[in-house]
Each structure stands twice: as C-alpha cells, then as structure tokens.
Amino acid sequence: MYGEDPLFGLLGRIGRPVEGHRPWPRYVTDRAGWLQLIEALAGNGWSLLGLWGEADTVHAAVREELAGDVAVVSLPCPDRRFPSLSAVRPAANRLERAAHDLFGLIPENGVDGRPWLDHGHWGVRHPLAASPAPVPPTTEAQPPYRFLPAEGPGLHQIPVGPVHAGIIEPGHFRFTANGETVVRLEERLGYVHKGVEGLMRGKMPAEAARIVARLSGDSTVAHALAFARAVEAALGIEPPPRAVWLRALMAELERVANHLGDIGAICNDAAFAFMLAEMGQLREMVLRAADACFGHRLMMDRVVPGGVMPDIAESGRTRLGDLTADLRRRFLPLVAIYDTKTSLLDRTVTTGVVSTGLAQRFGAGGHVGRASGRGLDARKSPGYPPYTDLEFEVPVLTEGDVNARIWIRIREVEQSLSLIDQILRRMPGVPRGPDGIVPPPMLPDLPKRAGQGGPRGSGEGMALVESFRGEIMTWVRLADDGTIDRCHPRDPSWFQWPLLEAAIEGNIVADFPLCNKSFNGSYSGQDL
C-alpha cells in the first residue's frame, strides 16, 4: 500500500521504517535523505503536519493530501544541527525556533534564528536537551527582542500587548503603520509557556492526560482526545465502542460552544454588542447542558486514554435532544440578523483576507483554512471513528475574509447540531448514570501485562483530531515501564497565527481586533 504512493515511495528509498509506530509509519533517514525530503516538499503539495525535537533527533510529520497518507520522518543529529524546512514550508519556522529553544537543535539556513518560546527568563538554556546549559550570571539587562525595523518615510511602530484590555491571554503585536494603514504586523508569543512537554516526561498516561487537557482550555476535549488516541495507538488497544461515541458527542458540544462564542465576540468587535449577548446565552446553554450530562462545563478530564470518565447522565439523551432543538430555533434568526445588518457586513466583508495559496502554503486548517478554500477536516481525512459512520459536510468558502470565517463557523454549528442528533440516536449501550464510567483499561498495569497476552507497555503512536480551531496532531512515545518518554501536542494555532500577520496587512489598525478574533488563535496552545 505505502510503496505505491509517491510519499511512501520516497520515504522507502531514503529511510528505514521504525517498528511499532502506529497507525502511520515512521522512517529514520540520514542527512542526505532529509535533503531529498526538502527537495520533494519544494516540488509537490505535501503538507507539513508538525515538526518537533528530541535531544539528538528532529522529527517532521508529512501528509500527501490527495491520498491522505501520513508519515513521520526522523533525522538523528548528534551534532544538533539539521537542514531547515522553513524555506519550503514556512510554517516550520516557529516550530524550528521552538525546537532550538527547548532542545538546542540548530536549523541550518533557517529563515529566522531568533528565539521563540525562550524570553530569557528560564534560568537555563535548552531545558529539554540531554545536558541543559546554565545561563551564566551577569549584571547586564536581558537584551530586548529584535523586532523587524520600520524603514521608509512616514512609517511608525505601534506596540500592543502582551497585556491587553480584554480578559484574554498575553501576546505582543508590533504594528508598522503608515498613518492608520498597517504595513506589517509582527507577533511575539510565548508568554504562557508552561513546560508542558517536560512536565509529561515520566508520567503515566492517565497523569499526562490531565496536563494535555489543560494545554488550551477551550479545546480540552479535542486535545485530550488526540492524546488518548495516540496512546491507544502506541499500546495497540481499542476503547469501548460506547466510549468512542461519547467522545465524539463531547467534541461536538465543545465545537458548538466555541463557535457560538466566537461569532458573538467577532460581532462585538464590530460594535454589535447585541450579537455578543445573544450568542453568549446560547453558549451558556451548551455549557450548562455539558455540566448536567458530564459533570463539567468544559468536559475537562472526561476523555482519558482507553475510554471516557464518566458516562453521560441518564437524563443526558433527553437534555441534549432538547438543547439541539432550542439552539436551532434561536440560532437561525440570529444568523439572518447578521446577514442583513449592512453596517456589520461593512466591517467584515473584504476585511482581513487570506488567499487560498497562502493558506495552502502554511497548511492552515479549521475555519481559517476552510474560509480560504482549504477544505481539509481530520474527521473526514484521514478520518476516525465514529465520524466514519456519520453523515456531515465540511463547509468551504474561498473569500478568505472575516465574513467567510464567520460563515464557516455558522455552517459548522449547523453540522455539529446534526452530528449530535445522529450520535444520540445511534450511540451503543445504555447510560450508566453520572457516577458510572465506561472503564478504560488499567493503563498503569499495562507493563506488567506485556508478554502475557495483554497490550505492550511501550510503543509510539500518533493521532490527528479535528478541534474547533482545526487539526490537532499529537505524537507520543511510551517507555518500557508505560510512562511517557516523549509527547508533542501540536495545536492548530501554530499554522494560523502566522497568517494573521498577512491578513491585517493593508487594513487599518482599528480592524485588528476584528481580524484577530476571527482567527481566535490559541496563545496557550502554541506556547506549550
């Protein structure tokens, strides 16, 4: 199967497969093979799914989009140097900078060598490297981050953040403007770096799942699901069928809640507070239903490796059926108001445009990619259960502006409501009540069971899961004792934040909040 595809044909020539990597293959190559990979990326449409490091290895996940095939390519680099991918896949730039900050890996001929996550306050250099380097004591002040200079007559810079007026996460935005027109925007993130990848080392999967669930709170279900599926792939286990459907139910509730909140917040940034209030009420309905059904408004820690915990409350099926009916009744009139409010459309139509080519080049997914003609959805391709047994459409537009990103959210709310109804009708088994669980396998005991007919304690696994922002990629390696040896969760915001810089170019400074909220990138998710 793999050898017949151009992607796997190349990887079969330049590398050797790694045993026990599931569900897609991983190949180890040498420097010459890595350079051939770069050459192949320059000449075709393979997309970059992620890039991450280890003490002496760099990994890249690649997808052949037409066939949907996925593979990981690994390059041992004992000298900690590797040829950069950023010239052919610009989305690799910040991932390479993060790998340098954390592991000391050096991308050769990279387009930008500045630090990304390391703001100079860690007290150590390359904390996840085999031998972290201490920061020499000095009385000199930390040198400021080198933003790109403003050059040209009439240009000036406007610094915004990292502390903002709203109750949002921190990020710095440096505008270069000519009057009110934005000539360039440069982002500086990393202010909420938490050391997630280091914290997971040595943890049992059940413990690490709690860390992953807090990587980006509004995507707690999606990140937990991606991690759980990666661990299950590494161990070669399958969750109970009912748990698979409950996971999808929670994921769609999360998607609806976030899209409703975003639609209202975008309109509020265009001075239409009515929509914020109305959408806020609908979002609150979803959160209260989630709390009633699963015991937590955000459904945090409800998806675990091997299953879910707890099952849906006995009244959950009726409660959620009533919820979808109420949302349809109240949501559609609000959509009509948005679509006929001329003063609102004047702010959203043709504002913050991202071209299809740029979205493709950066591998953007979710509402950002789909509003710009890139219709990938992990639920469809490569697909995962139970979505392979459900009927839904992936909305795609090509205008690429704020209005298109709103309409993608509107259509996805409609599709998610349909999915929730389908899941409620078809979910196997019976509810066990709020204190019941769909029990996961006893993951801490898995190493003891290895060799006794049970799952192995070690292995490598990878998962692609569609969050409300887009595609999450999680890669995990388990040690022989069943603990996390390495885990990399790649939030979709990594590939969307750079496009915000392009979207605001040529717009006025006052439109930045509107553009920013239409993206709604996760600061915490990309800051790790």
Q: Convert 272-323 into a string of H (helix), E (strand) and C (coil).
A: CHHHHHHHHHHHHHHHHHHHHHHCCCCCCCCEECCEECCCCCCCHHHHHHHH
- Check residue 449 and give its pLDDT: 40
Task: List the one residue out of 182, 156, 184, 185 whose CA is nearest residue 172.
Answer: 185
Displacement of CA 295 from its chain's centroid (Å): 25
Enumerate the β-bridge partners of residue 15: 29
Coil, strand, or helix at residue 82? strand
- Check residue 446 and give its pLDDT: 46
Contact 87, 111 (CB under 8 A): yes
The pTM of the full predicted model, rounded to 2 decimals, is 0.94
Task: List the one residue out of 252, 222, 396, 377 whose CA is nearest residue 324.
Answer: 252
- Check residue 55 and give its pLDDT: 93
Enumerate the β-bridge partners of residue 124: 134
**197 labeled binding residue:** yes
Instruction: Report DSSP state, residue 518.
Output: H
Contact 395, 406 (CB under 8 A): no
Task: List the one residue out of 401, 410, 277 whose CA is nearest residue 348.
Answer: 401
What gap in Å lies between CA 455 and CA 459, rounded to an integer? 10
- Check residue 442 and give its pLDDT: 41
In which element (H, E) is residue 338 found?
A: helix 316-340
**What DSSP string describes 193-250?**
---HHHHHTT--HHHHHHHHTTSSGGGHHHHHHHHHHHHHHHHT----HHHHHHHHHH
Contact 239, 307 (CB under 8 A): yes
Q: Which residues have C-beta within 8 Å of that of residue 173, sequence separation ≥ 6?
A: 159, 160, 161, 185, 186, 187, 188, 512
Tell me the pairing of strands 172-178 and 181-188.
Answer: antiparallel
CB-based burial label for 505 (10 Å; 0-12, 13-18, 19+) = middle
What gap in Å lies between CA 358 and CA 138, rounded to an integer? 43
Helices H, strands E: what count in the chain?
Answer: 17, 18
Contact 395, 412 (CB under 8 A): yes
Contact 41, 89 (CB under 8 A): yes
Coil, strand, or helix at residue 465? strand
- Check residue 13 and give its pLDDT: 95
What gap in Å lies between CA 480 and CA 472, rounded to an integer? 26
Query: In the numeric block, which tokens belong to residue 71?
Result: 């593979």
| Three-class SS of 38-50 | HHHHHHCCCEEEE
Query: What's the order of all strands across the beta sheet hosting 57-64?
Result: 15-17, 26-29, 69-76, 57-64, 47-53
Query: In the numeric block, which tokens belong to residue 468?
Result: 């409300």
In which element (H, E) is residue 486 found?
A: strand 484-490
Output the tens digit of pLDDT for each of the chain's 528 residues.
444 458 999 999 999 999 999 999 999 999 999 999 999 999 888 999 999 999 999 999 999 988 889 999 999 999 999 999 999 999 999 999 999 999 999 999 998 999 999 999 898 999 999 888 888 776 566 778 999 888 888 999 999 989 987 778 999 999 999 999 999 999 999 999 999 999 999 999 999 999 999 999 999 999 999 999 999 999 999 999 999 999 999 999 999 999 999 999 999 999 999 999 999 999 999 999 999 999 999 999 999 999 998 889 888 999 999 999 999 999 999 999 999 999 999 999 999 999 999 999 999 999 999 999 999 999 999 999 999 999 999 999 999 999 999 999 999 999 999 999 999 999 998 666 444 555 544 444 444 443 344 455 679 999 999 999 999 999 999 999 999 999 999 999 999 999 999 999 999 999 999 999 999 999 999 999
- Check residue 138 and give its pLDDT: 67
Burial state string for 207-220 with b = 16 or more CB within 10 A and e = fewer than 16: ebbebbbbbbebbb
- Check residue 5 and give its pLDDT: 53
Coil, strand, or helix at residue 159? strand
